[in-house]
Each structure stands twice: as structure tokens, then as C-alpha cells.
Structure 1
Amino acid sequence: PTSNIWWMGTLYGAYLFFMMIEFVMLQKEQHRTATMFGLAGLLTGVVAHSNLGAVFGLLNAREFWHGPYMPIYFITSAAMSGCVAIIFFTYLAYRANGWEFSDDIKKSLSAVAKMGALMMAIILFFTSWKMITGVTGNPPGKYEAIQALLSGPYAVNFWIGEVALGMIIPFVLILAVRGNNMRVLFIASVAGMIGIFFMRYDLVIVGQLVPHYHGMGMVDYPSLFTYSPTFHEWVITLGGFAFCGFLFLAGERLFRGHLTEDH
């Protein structure tokens, strides 16, 4: 119980359990019970995401990860990813079934988009200060990792993947249409989901690039480790995306998940 990894499995297990019960209650149209389990799932999810951030933030040996910033970052990025995922999958469901968006659905998605834009602004704020504190004073271990993102081998991932696709482009698109154009919101959600992938990829990889012996002047040892995904890792990743897509389409056909009104 003193391990964050142990708590991660326990909390995410409880999170999934509450979501499953909520889904069953919604199918049975027991909305009051579904609301109770949904609230329990929400609270458990917040704790689970913050604990996941603590898995990284409590690692003193990795300066790029270490600090109280990580649990807050994980909660905020989870809220952002949830907003863009709702827009993305709802749009796909309506287009796949040939349905038209009602005014109520448009209002709901508009509210979700505005919430997502707020989360993007907060993440951009956090990211800016993380970069500033990472280069000010050249903190050992952290400075090298930050430079790998800003101007090193992961600069394209950071500036195009994280900043442009993950924050700037969807934020500007949502504000430009004030959350009212469904097609533009879908484009923003696609950009946001790609950006979130790069956020997580860079977070995990760059945090492990700096060797523990950095700064010791050791001969014939790299100042930064290198990494590139193998063929098997690509296959597993693409297979995971395909499996999620299959489950989504199967769920639409079996449970009619988005059929909440006449179309």
C-alpha cells in the first residue's frame, strides 16, 4: 500500500468498476443510481490521475519528472483529453450513423469544447513555467532534458506535436468559432488527440534520456541516451488504436450509445 504503482492499479480498477456500473444503470434507465456511480467514478478518477502523476513526481532520481507539478498536470491533461475525446467520438458516431446534430447536442459539445480550451490554456501556462524553471540556473539533470525538447532531438515533437497540435491550434480553432461549428470542433479534437499522444510520449521518453552519471565527466559514456521505437512497438501501438476503434464501432452498433433522441 505504500507503493504508488500499487495504488495506481487499485484506483484505476475502482474507476473502471464505477464506470461499468454507471453504464449498466444508464442502459436500465436508472438515472439516479447512474449519477451516484458516475460521481464516485469522477472522484476516483481524479485521485487516480493525481496518483499517476505522483508515480513520476516522487522520483527524486529523475529531475525532469520530480516535483509537485506532475499530479496537477496529469489531472488537467486528463480533463483536456476527455474533452477532445468526447467531441471526437460523438462527431464520428453521428456521422457514421448519418444523424444530424440537434440543438441540444450542439450546445453540449460547445460547452465541452470551451472547457477543453480552458484546460489547454492551463496546460500551456504550466508548460511555459516548466520550460522556464528547467533552463534557469541550469539545474543538473533537468536542464539537459529540457534542452532536448527545446532545441534537441525532440524539438519537433515538442514544438509541433505538443505546443502546436496539442495546445495552440485547437485552442485557436475553438475560440475562432466560439465552440459552435461542429466540423471545426472535430478538427480541433483530432489535433488535440495527436498532441496528447506527443505529450505522453515526450514525458516518458525524455525523462529517461539523461543518464544518472551525467556531469561526472566519464569518458566514452553518452551525455544523453537515444531511443527510437522498434517495429514491434509500432505494431503494438497501431494495434491498440485499431482495437479501440473496433470497440467503439461495436459499442455503437450493440448499445446505440449515442442514440438519446429521435434522429
Structure 2
Amino acid sequence: MTTTKIAVIGGSGLYDIDGLEDQEWVEVDTPWGKPSDAILTGTLQGLPICFLPRHGRGHVHGPTTVPYRANIDALKRLGVTDVISISACGSFREEMAPGDFVIVDQFIDRTFAREKSFFGTGCAAHVSVAHPTCDRLRAACLSAALDATIPVHDGGTYLAMEGPQFSTLAESKLYRDNWGCDVIGMTNMPEAKLAREAELCYASVAMITDYDSWHPDHGEVDVTRIIETLHGNADKAKSLVLGLPAVLNHARDTCPHGCDRALEYAILTAPEKRDPEVLAKLDAVAGRVL
């Protein structure tokens, strides 16, 4: 039995959370560099919680330069058990309108300029991301959203693009009509993959700001309109976070979906062939199995 400790990774428009007691911004050093920002720690209705602004306060990181490995490593070092990603996205579905939230359950990763794993030469490992989000944590996010009367959709496929530019019309139609994607964003990959490697439960809450460029009545993405919607979405996201302690047990057993045991049989490099320098960098992420 372990104590639940939530981390909220806030996306565009969400740079802090309300209601935290015993607040402290903590600097964390990792073998992968500095995280996006200091991490806000505290308690929410008795539940330990960390908040990390993905882009940094003041939005200093673009989607490609977010230090994803450092972010996940830092949260693991702080004893986090559950990661809730909150991010802005575009919608490919008429019924998933700007201002709605989607509790994502699948991803298609089209990013190409980012480090996507903690493992490599000196210690090779392969984890399963067939089901990249934790159903238990997804259910908690859905319940908190419904309790906060947020328009929310249970399940959706998130297309992760490299950015920072938005989609062409041809790309938008391809992702919507041919690939069956529901929303599009720039930051949930490799974040979700790294959380799985770090044996952290992960859920993604996508806040819809626009209809990308496919919608015939909305035209191309307009940043001015996106920013207007972002402000309203940020208030809703804070309401969702405030509702999490009521739907998450403060004490938790092992994850029923195996998120916290993802490395059980994942490391393939023979013990005598593992690079000590690489192992030292993996002390927080993979310490349980190493």
C-alpha cells in the first residue's frame, strides 16, 4: 500500500492551481537537465500534490523544447504516483466543441525531434504502450469533470504533432477522415511514453480550443480566438483539479492495470553489460528494478 501523490502537468493557459495548502516552489535537479520550471508542492484537501507548468511560467518553452525527460524524472524523484496531463488541443469532431474536455485514451505519435526514452545504449528496455493511459486515473478525471459540470467526452484519440506550426488543411483532413483521430495537440508525446517508462499512472485531459483547420465554417486556426478559449478552459481545469481528492483514494494499492510495474520484464541488457553511468541516470526512473 502506498500514499497517492498526484502531479498535474499544466499546459497552455494553466500556470498554477488554486486551493493548495503549504505551498512551496521546489527546484529539482535531474540527470536529464532542469525541468520546465520549479515544481509547486503542497496538499489539496489532505492529498499531496505537485504542479508543474509544462511550458514554464511565462510560457518559455515551445512544444519541441519542453524537457520531457527531466519533467517526468523530477516528478518521480518527488514521490509522485499519478500524473494528470492537462493540455490545449484542436478538435476533429463537430460534437467535441471548443470549451469541451476530452479524457484521452489513445495516441498517434507524429513527433520526430524529441528524445522519447530514458533507455538506450548501455541499458536497453522496451515497455508496452498499447494502452498508454491508466483507466483508473482516467475514470477519476472523468468523475471530477462531471462533478464540476464541465462538458466532457470519455475517450478519444490524440494526434501528437511536432509543431510549433498548426496543421495544413490536407494534414487536418488526413488525421480526421483517414486516421480517425479525435483531437490534435503538440505535447502529450513523448510525455505519456516516458511516464510509462517511469512506472507512473498517466491520464490526459485535453482542453479543446478550436476545430483545427478542417472545419468549413471555422477556417484556419486563429490564435486570438484560441487565447480567449484558453482562459475559460483554465478555470474549468482548476475546478477539475479541485475535485480530484474526492474521487481518488489517499491510500492506494498496486495499479490494477500494471502501470506501476511496466519495467518488470522490460530491461533486456544483461546485468554484466549494463553501463554504470547509464544506470546512475536511471536511479529514480528505474530504481525499483535496478
TM-score (structure 2 length as normaliser): 0.22
TM-score (structure 1 length as normaliser): 0.24
Which protein is richer in helix relative to its size?
1
Higher RCO, 1 vs 2 (CA within 8 Å, ≥6 residues apart) = 2
Higher-Rg member (1/2): 1
